[in-house]
Amino acid sequence: MKLIIFAGPPTCGKTTVIRQVIKRILTKNLKPSFIKIDVLFADEDETIAKDFGIPTRKIYSGELCPDHCNVVVLDEAVEWAEKQGSDFLFVETAGLCLRCSPYVENSLGIVVLESTSGMNLPRKIGPMLTLADIAVITKIDLISQAEREVFRYRVLEAAKEITVVESNALYGIGIDPIVRKIIDSKEVELPMFLRGNPPVGTCTICVGKKEIGAKNHFGVLRTMDQDLFYVGE
């Protein structure tokens, strides 16, 4: 099973890119399945199942952080896709958190960024970009060629080793090189491990402590002026 994980801010074009990829994967007689992970609402699973006739699922993270949800369900997701007889599992993440990244060892991590989102975006989104294998820059039809080159530079400045692909995803321009990388990617092995390091410590806020102020929390903390320190066992 090849696991392809797509991340990126809302409306950057993840679904549009995935649909173009699926179209091309199907013409090569390969078998993809698709999972959408989101917080409250998603309909990509229904439209993709209807338009391409492939196995799809959606998972609502609800109360849980969507990246956390991704970590706790992905093993079952891979087993599900195996049962469907798929060669590839495409996962579209919610793409909300800028501190975590959803990529797994041996998966192919694809971050989707829209070229219209400003020159500082690549500097803002952290591991979602720096731990990815491919950065797909969408909506190149909406900006000038000069801006495209400067945006690409900003992406490479933040993630030196990444492969950059520029795309007008509406027309499928730039999709073929992504498909080649997907086909050449590695098989995932169970048990799977998250790529890179997750955020430091166990977050007391995530587990429901709402009081403001470092004195009300434990684990790795900081104050306004003090660097990171640790309270606890």
Partner 1 sequence: MGDIISIVGPTGCGKTTLINDIELFATKNTPSERTILINDEPVPEDFTFDPSKHPIALISQHTNFLSDLPVGDFLRIHAKVRGADNVDTIIEETLDFANQLTGESINRLTGMTELSGGQTRSLLIADAVIIGNSPIILLDEIENAGIHRTKALELLKKYDKIFVFVTHDSRIALLSDFRIIMKNGSMEKMIITGPEERRAAMELKKIDDVMLEFRRLIRAGEEITDEIFNSQIKNLAYSN
* 197 near partner 1, rule: CB under 8 A: no
CB 52 within 8 Å of CB 207: no
Return d(Cα 118, Cα 124) in angstroms, integer. Answer: 11
CB of 108 vs Mg ion, minimal distance in Å: 18
Q: Which of 125, 63, 68 is nearest to 102 (CA)?
A: 68
Choice between 57 and 139, CB closer to partner 1: 139
CB of 209 to Mg ion, least distance (A): 33
175 binds, among ligand GDP, Mg ion, partner 1, none (CB under 5 to 8 A by kind): partner 1
| Residue 20 binds to Mg ion (criterion: CB under 5 A) | no
**Minimum gap (Å) between residue 40 Cβ and ligand GDP:** 14
Which residues on adjacent β-strands are paired with residue 111?
Answer: 7, 135
Query: CB of 202 within 8 A of CB of 219?
Result: yes
Residue number with CB closer to partner 1 (153 or 229): 153
By CB under 6 A, residue 141 contacts ligand GDP: yes
**Is 152 near partner 1 (CB under 8 A)?**
yes
d(CA 42, CA 20): 19
The residues, ordered by sequence, that sit 6+ positions from 116 with a Cβ below 8 Å of its Cβ are 139, 142, 143
Tokens coding 83: 């049962």
- Segment contacting partner 1 (CB under 8 A): 5-13, 50-58, 117-125, 209-217? 117-125
List the structure tokens of 21.
């990829």
Answer for the pair 181, 153: CB distance below 8 angstroms, yes or no: no
**Least distance in Å: CB of 142 to ligand GDP?**
5
Query: Would you tell me which residues interact with Mg ion (CB under 5 A)?
Result: 14-15
Query: Would you tell me which residues interact with ligand GDP (CB under 6 A)?
Result: 8, 10-16, 138-139, 141-142, 167-170
